[in-house]
């Protein structure tokens, strides 16, 4: 049973190799990718049930003891993240089939997409399951390296420009991560998370704080926490829609997951609460102010992505069981909702040839199904009752008020203001793109000036009058249903995240699963 | 544990030079800086593995032996740095093909927002009645 933990990491890598071999046949590549990801989803379900009933599952790769070798651990938090991420990955893969013909043109090496995508999935799974810091670093590098390829897919000028920024920022964060691992090893003599949980307590407090800050900076860059978030809104929107969607859904959440894991396991009695609360507050407020100022759907969504990272960070900063449960719930909600919204933005681009609000209009009449698919997750994102976004925010607000000090109350107030501003930004998109009639039909001249998408816009404008392809619409619809399903199943899900948070706060289940009882 | 001061100075110099290069605009220089910092951090791993001069891990012995774990990590890090640097160089070449330079460029939309601010204009989405503003803005050659 334990060995199943290896499947989500190894199987996509094997699948990636197989896809490279089958590079000439697009059909065979599709079959392999879908089969691999479907098996991983099934594995994740089994792991989730098993971790919930029998506690964390740990595997020592190669049979080495935990403090020397690599261990993979699936506890409640990790298996929930794994399940949600693989479901999202699978849906986005199906969506990319529908889009493939349009978006990737003839001169794009399509055969690269599938292997890279599977490697990305393996990297994300490895990061979620990893039981030691260095393996976490390797997982990050695997997913980052494949994200470099995906974000510059086709090598058009806009993607090279935006991809360069993304890559330079990621390089810096990787090197800081490596630096912090070296420091952790020098201070404690191990990189295994379970062993570190004990050994960090024995360090002098200032040394421990340096390690904590180094790790926090690393993961904050990856999670796009203010003031380390400026790279995100520029680099995401230019990539192909499915790539942006999966990045927005997963990559920042991997960073948040790493923050949750290290803060709860390694630094349980952190005295950086004030810093984290301020970071959460500023991330929320400044991110959403950016979203309000934008006039492109994808950029609005990128800024809301940055802003809502603050909600999750708020839960981590409070570090109470309720706060952590709310944060985990919010991560699950946000992965699905943000991915759906970027997929819908891709559909809007396909339908109208642009995502610029100045040139969109009348979509509610022209494409009613698309409008519904935008409206439901958009309201969910803004946190309108009874959607899951509202429930997550409610839990975080309750946790903040229960904490009682003025800074926590301030953060809760900021989160409520952020929700209202999210509603404002989203309503603006809704009004201008969907309700308001289209103003200018001939936009050939302005597209040259305002467009960030280069030649792609012209190509897609040809397809403007076509109906939505089912291959793109159905996976989007499926994810919309998943996000609504989170609302319907909110009770069981929230009690699950409460159990996961308890496990995080106790710390012993994780440590015992990795090191055994006889430590 | 006692720490070799020379190695610490080497780390400082490598990382310092690397940081200076990473702050440049040209992607090639950034990559050289990245390689320098990477090497500096690898030396840091050697410091973390303890004093130099112990024999490598061979068979069973009661004498102190050098710690193989940081060496394994440094090797992994070297491989990863190599791969990422290769990709970065390919990207720099592609950038040179497209633009004639390999500079990291500014955010286009940020530029637009900044120019609007200098002209004291409203954002395109602010004033619903006057949607001509962004077009004039966008076609402005400056």
Domain boundaries, chain B: 5-51+67-99, 108-139
Cβ pair A473, A369 in contact under 8 A? yes
Among partner residues A138, A160, A171, which is closest to B34 by beta-carbon distance? A171
Q: What percent of chain B has pLDDT over 70?
A: 80
Number of C-beta neighbours around residue A220 at 10 A: 24
Q: Does the distance separating the beta carbons of B44 and A138 come in below 8 Å?
A: no
Residue that wins the pLDDT comparison between A332 and A457: A332
Among partner residues A185, A234, A299, which is closest to B48 by beta-carbon distance? A185
Q: What is the pLDDT of residue A441?
A: 46
Residue that wins the pLDDT comparison between A454 and B14: B14
Query: Nearest-CA distance from A164 to chain B in Å?
Result: 6
Phi–psi pair at A70, nearest 5 degrees: -100, 130
A203 sits in which H/E element:
none
CA distance A344 to A242: 10
- Report the range of poorest mean pLDDT among A48-62, A339-353, B20-34, B105-119: B105-119
Q: Which of A11, A2, A12 is nearest to A74 (CA)?
A: A2
Q: Which of B12, A361, A272, B19 is nearest to A353 (CA)?
A: A361
Strand partners, A58: A73
Q: What percent of chain A has pLDDT over 70?
A: 91
Average pLDDT, whole number, for chain A? 85
Q: What is the pLDDT of residue B123?
A: 55
Average pLDDT over residues A182-193: 89
CA-based diameter of chain B, in Å?
Answer: 84
**Three-class SS of residue A296?**
strand
B91 Cβ partners below 8 Å, 6+ apart?
A: A148, A152, A160, A163, A164, A167, B27
Q: Does the distance separating the beta carbons of A179 and B73 come in below 8 Å?
A: no
Q: B residues 2-41 near A, CB within 8 Å? A: 22, 27, 30, 34, 37-38, 41
Q: Does the distance separating the beta carbons of A445 and B45 come in below 8 Å?
A: no
Is this prediction's ipTM beyond 0.95?
no
Q: What is the pLDDT of residue A462?
A: 42
**pLDDT confidence tier of residue A231, bands split at 50, 70 and 90:** confident
Whether residue A151 is predicted with pLDDT greater than 70 in this model: the reply is yes
**Three-class SS of residue B68?**
helix
Number of C-beta neighbours around residue A405 at 10 A: 11
Nearest chain A residue to B123 by CA: give it.
A293
Among partner residues B37, B73, B131, which is closest to A358 by beta-carbon distance? B131
Q: What is the pLDDT of residue B59?
A: 67
Please tell us whether the domain made up of B5-51+67-99 is placed in CATH 1.10.287.3510: yes
Q: What percent of chain A has pLDDT over 90?
A: 34
Residues of chain B with C-beta less than 8 angstroms from the C-beta of A171 = 30, 34, 84, 88
**pLDDT confidence tier of residue A446, bands split at 50, 70 and 90:** very low
C-alpha A213, offset from chain centre = 22
C-alpha B4, offset from chain centre = 27
Cβ pair A53, A300 in contact under 8 A? no
Cβ pair B41, B8 in contact under 8 A? no
Q: What is the pLDDT of residue A517?
A: 67
Q: What is the pLDDT of residue A454?
A: 41
Helical spans, DSSP H, in B1-67: 5-22, 27-48
Q: Does the distance separating the beta carbons of B91 and A450 come in below 8 Å?
A: no
Whether residue A261 is predicted with pLDDT greater than 80 in this model: the reply is yes
Q: What is the pLDDT of residue B139?
A: 44
CA dist A379 to A341, A360, A385, A499, Å?
11, 20, 9, 28
C-alpha A412, offset from chain centre = 23
- Report the range of poorest mean pLDDT among A163-177, A424-438, B19-33: A424-438
* Residue found by looking up tokens 């630096």 in the block: A179
Whether residue B12 is predicted with pLDDT greater than 90 in this model: the reply is yes
CA dihedral over A10, A14, A20, A24, signed as positive or negative:
negative
CA dihedral over A447, A453, A459, A461, signed as positive or negative:
negative
CA distance A251 to A223: 7
| pTM for the model | 0.88
Whether residue A126 is predicted with pLDDT greater than 90 in this model: the reply is yes
Q: Is A502 on the interface with B (CB under 8 A)?
A: no
**Three-class SS of residue A132?**
strand
CA distance A81 to A257: 8
In sequence order, what DSSP letters do the residues of A152-187 get, joined into one string? TTT--HHHHHHHHHHHHHHHHHHHHHHHHHHHHHHH
Q: Give per-residue burial for B18-35: e unless 16+ CB within 10 Å, then b.
A: beebbeeeebbbbbbbbb
Q: What is the pLDDT of residue B101?
A: 82
Cβ pair A185, B70 in contact under 8 A? yes
A237: exposed, middle or buried (Cβ count in 10 Å: 0-12, 13-18, 19+): buried
CA distance B31 to B84: 9
- Which range, A54-58, A66-70, A235-239, is most confident? A54-58
Q: What is the pLDDT of residue A448?
A: 41
Average pLDDT over residues A401-424: 90
Whether residue A180 is predicted with pLDDT greater than 80 in this model: the reply is yes
Cβ pair A39, A126 in contact under 8 A? no
**pLDDT confidence tier of residue B61, bands split at 50, 70 and 90:** low
CA distance A471 to A401: 45
Residues of chain B with C-beta less than 8 angstroms from the C-beta of A296 = 109
Q: What is the pLDDT of residue B122?
A: 62
Q: Does the distance separating the beta carbons of B27 and A234 come in below 8 Å?
A: no
Q: What is the pLDDT of residue B16?
A: 94
Cβ pair A343, A241 in contact under 8 A? yes
Cβ pair A510, A56 in contact under 8 A? yes
Cβ pair A387, A380 in contact under 8 A? yes
Among partner residues B73, B84, B108, which is closest to A171 by beta-carbon distance? B84
Q: Does the distance separating the beta carbons of A450 and B138 come in below 8 Å?
A: yes
CA dist A240 to A234, A336, B3, Å?
14, 18, 50
- Report the range of poorest mean pLDDT among A61-70, A216-225, B15-24, B71-80: A61-70
> Domain map of chain A by residue range?
2-440+451-513
* Residue found by looking up tokens 């809704």 in the block: A430
- Report the range of poorest mean pLDDT among A20-29, A94-103, A135-144, A414-423: A94-103
**pLDDT confidence tier of residue A110, bands split at 50, 70 and 90:** low
Strand partners, A73: A58
Q: What is the pLDDT of residue A81?
A: 93
Q: Is A198 on the interface with B (CB under 8 A)?
A: no
């Amino acid at each position: 049973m334990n060995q199943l933990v290896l499947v989500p990491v190894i199987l996509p890598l094997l699948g990636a190799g197989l896809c490279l071999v089958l590079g000439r046949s697009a059909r065979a590549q599709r079959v392999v990718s879908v089969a691999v990801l479907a098996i991983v989803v099934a594995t994740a379900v089994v792991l989730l049930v098993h971790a919930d009933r029998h506690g964390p599952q740990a595997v020592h790769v190669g049979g080495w003891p935990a403090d020397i070798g690599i261990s993979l651990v699936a506890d409640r938090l990790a298996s929930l993240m794994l399940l949600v991420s693989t479901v999202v990955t699978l849906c986005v893969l199906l969506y990319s089939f529908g889009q493939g013909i349009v978006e990737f043109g003839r001169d794009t090496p399509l055969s690269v997409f599938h292997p890279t995508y599977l490697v990305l999935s393996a990297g994300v799974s490895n990061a979620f399951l990893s039981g030691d810091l260095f393996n976490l670093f390797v997982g990050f590098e695997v997913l980052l390296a494949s994200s470099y390829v995906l974000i510059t897919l086709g090598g058009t000028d806009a993607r090279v420009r935006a991809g360069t920024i993304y890559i330079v920022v990621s390089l810096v964060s990787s090197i800081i991560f490596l630096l912090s691992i070296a420091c952790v090893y020098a201070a404690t003599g191990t990189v295994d998370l379970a062993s570190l949980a004990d050994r960090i307590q024995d360090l002098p407090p200032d040394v421990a704080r340096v390690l904590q800050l180094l790790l926090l900076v690393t993961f904050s860059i990856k999670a796009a926490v203010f003031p380390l978030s400026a790279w995100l809104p520029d680099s995401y929107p230019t990539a192909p829609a499915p790539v942006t969607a999966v990045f927005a859904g997963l990559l920042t959440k991997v960073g948040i997951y790493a923050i949750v894991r290290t803060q709860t396991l390694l630094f349980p009695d952190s005295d950086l609460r004030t810093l984290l609360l301020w970071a959460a507050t500023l991330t929320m407020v400044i991110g959403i102010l950016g979203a309000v100022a934008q006039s492109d759907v994808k950029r609005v969504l990128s800024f809301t992505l940055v802003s809502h990272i603050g909600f999750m960070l708020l839960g981590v900063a409070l570090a109470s069981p309720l706060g952590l449960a709310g944060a985990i719930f919010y991560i699950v909600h946000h992965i699905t909702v943000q991915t759906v919204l970027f997929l819908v933005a891709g559909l809007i681009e396909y339908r109208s040839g642009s995502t610029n609000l100045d040139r969109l209009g009348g979509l509610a009449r022209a494409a009613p199904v698309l409008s519904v698919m935008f409206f439901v997750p958009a309201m969910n994102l803004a946190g309108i009752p009874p959607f899951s976004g509202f429930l997550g925010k409610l839990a975080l607000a309750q946790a903040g008020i229960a904490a009682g000090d003025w800074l926590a109350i301030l953060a809760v107030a900021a989160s409520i203001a952020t929700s209202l501003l999210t509603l404002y930004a989203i309503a603006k998109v809704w009004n201008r793109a969907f309700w308001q009639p289209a103003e200018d039909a001939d936009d050939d001249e302005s597209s040259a000036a305002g467009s960030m998408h280069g030649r792609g816009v012209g190509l897609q404008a040809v397809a403007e009058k076509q109906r939505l392809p089912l291959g793109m619409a159905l996976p989007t619809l499926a994810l919309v249903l998943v996000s609504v399903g989170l609302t319907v199943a909110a009770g069981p899900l929230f009690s699950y995240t409460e159990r996961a948070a308890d496990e995080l706060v106790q710390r012993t289940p994780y440590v015992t699963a990795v090191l055994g009882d006889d430590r | 544990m006692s720490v070799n001061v020379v190695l610490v100075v080497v780390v400082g110099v490598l990382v310092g030079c690397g940081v200076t290069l990473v702050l440049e605009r040209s992607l090639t220089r950034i990559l050289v800086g990245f390689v320098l910092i990477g090497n500096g951090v690898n030396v840091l791993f050697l410091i973390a593995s303890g004093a130099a001069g112990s024999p490598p891990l061979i068979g069973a012995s009661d004498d102190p032996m050098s710690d193989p774990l940081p060496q394994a990590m440094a090797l992994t890090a070297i491989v990863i740095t190599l791969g990422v640097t290769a990709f970065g160089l390919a990207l720099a070449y592609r950038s040179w093909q497209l633009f004639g330079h390999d500079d990291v460029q500014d955010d286009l939309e940020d530029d637009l927002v900044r120019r609007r601010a200098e002209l004291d204009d409203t954002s395109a989405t602010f004033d619903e009645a006057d949607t001509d503003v962004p077009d004039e803005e966008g076609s402005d050659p400056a």
